[in-house]
Amino acid sequence: MEFRQIIYFLEISESGTYQKAASRLGLTQPALSKQMFLLEKELGITVLERGGKSVRLTHEGERFYQYSIRMKELWEEIQNAFSKENELKGNFSISAGGTVSAWILPQILKDILKKRPGLSLSVREGDASETKDAVLKGEVELGILTGPISEPSLNVLEFLSDRIYPVAAKDHPIFQKTKIKIEDLKKQPFVCFHPGSALRKAVEKKIKSFTKDFGPNIAMELRSVESVVKSLEAGLGIGFLSEYSINSKLKKIKFDDWNTDRKFYLCYRKKSGPTLAYLAEEILKSAEKWEIERE
């Protein structure tokens, strides 16, 4: 059970409909319904009875409502006790790779800055090595890295999950094949990220698990995600992209056993103080909300 589900349940109980509750919470109705389904599944009871557009509490829901009120009051008491320590003001910087910088952080940071007028956040793009060095040297306060991360001087928090896919322009000749195999890719030119890219390292590791003698015909090595995307759109080769950066002009190349996942982690130095820890918490909460909205 997650505390946000308690808040969602209370809002639905007080609003009387999913539609009103979703509007007040800033969520879509399907996303809110999914969270209530997960809550009821974990509790093993039905707390809300749906009838037409309105909802009402079941007998078990009435009991759970009382517990939920007490939990909310306790949480508000905790927040009030630490409110002075948790004021978020000042300038903070974040370093992250191209995918996170371009497709993930803008929406997440927009949500935070809207609620925190005294806060200023800047983002600088860097590969995995550059980002890690920048955090360790104190050049930026926060970094977002691809895991696993083993660094004793850093606090490391799970941020988001990602999946990498082979892609090409929709009209690429490879899609004329009825069944595509890894061997079919050998004959194609590749549009790759530069060797220091975490995404490229993940792809190379996966390819080696398929075949040891696969030497890709690299036509281009680029640093920015936008450059790779534009080159793929132009039909200059095959490439590998995060699910977050695949657009309508590109198509996934599907073949058996391709399943490449990675996790992003938020990290900061352990001796950074409580304000930075609270900022990291805010970023994680906004990321969770953003991911729910995408589902």
Identify the band that residue 81 occupies on the pLDDT scale cut at 50, 70 and 90: low
Residues 59 and 176 in one domain: no
Q: Encode pLDDT of 36-66 as tens digits.
A: 999 999 999 999 988 777 888 999 999 999 9
pTM value? 0.65
Distance CA 208, CA 273 (A): 42
DSSP secondary structure string, 19-86? HHHHHHHT--HHHHHHHHHHHHHHHTS--EEEETTEEEE-HHHHHHHHHHHHHHHHHHHHHHHHTTTT
Residues 155 and 195 in one domain: no
- CATH number where 64 lies: 1.10.10.10
Query: Does 258 lie in the same domain as 204?
Result: yes
Which comes out higher in pLDDT, residue 182 or 220?
Answer: 220
Residue 295's pLDDT is 66
What pLDDT score does 236 carry?
94
Q: Which of 140, 127, 130 is CA-nearest to residue 100?
A: 127
Q: Which of 50, 82, 114 is where one domain is finished? A: 82
- What string of DSSP letters covers 202-229? HHHHHHHHH-TT---EEEEEESSHHHHH
- 98-124 burial, b at 16+ Cβ within 10 Å, e below that, comes to bbbbbbbbeebbebbeeeeeebebebe
> What mean pLDDT do residues 207-214 have?
73
Q: How far is Cα 249 from Cα 234, in angstroms, rounded to an integer?
A: 10
Confidence at residue 87, expressed as pLDDT on a 0 to 100 scale: 67
| Pair 116, 255 in one domain | no
Could you tell me if 254 and 289 lie in one domain? Answer: no
Please indicate, yes or no, whether residues 233 and 194 belong to a single structural domain of this protein: yes
Q: Total domain count for the chain?
A: 3
CATH number assigned to the domain comprising residue 101: 3.40.190.10
**Over residues 207-225, mean pLDDT:** 80
**How does residue 136 score in pLDDT terms, banded at 50, 70 and 90?**
very high
For residue 18, pLDDT beyond 70: yes
The predicted structure's pLDDT at residue 182 = 76
Who wins on pLDDT, 205 or 247? 247
pLDDT at 83 over 90: no
Give the span between the Cα atoms of 185 and 166, in whole angstroms.
10
For residue range 177-191, what is the model confidence (pLDDT) as tens digits? 888 887 788 788 999
For residues 30 and 111, membership in a common domain is answered with no
Find tokens 């900022």 and name the residue. 279
| Residue where one domain finishes, among candidates 82, 112, 132 | 82
Task: Note the pLDDT of residue 239.
Answer: 94
As a whole number, the mean pLDDT across the chain is 88
- Buried b / exposed e over 251-271, threshold 16 CB at 10 Å, is bebeeeebebebebbbbbbee
Q: If pLDDT is split at 50, 70 and 90, which confidence band does 196 have?
A: confident
Q: How confident is the model at residue 86 (pLDDT cuts 50, 70, 90)?
A: low
Residues 270 and 125 in one domain: yes
**Strand 217-222 to strand 54-57: parallel, antiparallel, or no bridges (unpaired)?**
unpaired
- Closest of 244, 253, 289, 201 to residue 103, by C-alpha: 244
Give buried/exposed letters for 57-96 (b at 16+ CB in 10 A, else e).
Answer: beeebeebbeebeeeeeeeeeeeeeeeeeeebeeebbbbb
Better-predicted residue by pLDDT, 295 or 289: 289
The verdict on 179 and 290 lying in the same domain is: no
Helix 29-43 to helix 3-15 angle (10° resolution) is 110
- The CB-side HSE value for 221 (13 A sphere, CA atoms) comes to 8
Instruction: Please indicate, yes or no, whether residues 183 and 255 belong to a single structural domain of this protein.
Output: yes
Residues 60 and 125 grouped into a single domain: no
**Average confidence (pLDDT) over 263-290:** 89
What is the share, in percent, of the chain residues with pLDDT greater than 70?
A: 95
Predicted pLDDT of residue 186: 79
What's the domain range around 121? 90-160+263-294
> Rounded to 10 degrees, what is the CA torsion of 210, 214, 219, 223?
50
Q: Look up residue 118 and give its two tokens.
A: 């005294």
| Whether residue 252 is found in the same domain as residue 168 | yes
- What number is the average pLDDT over the span 263-272? 91
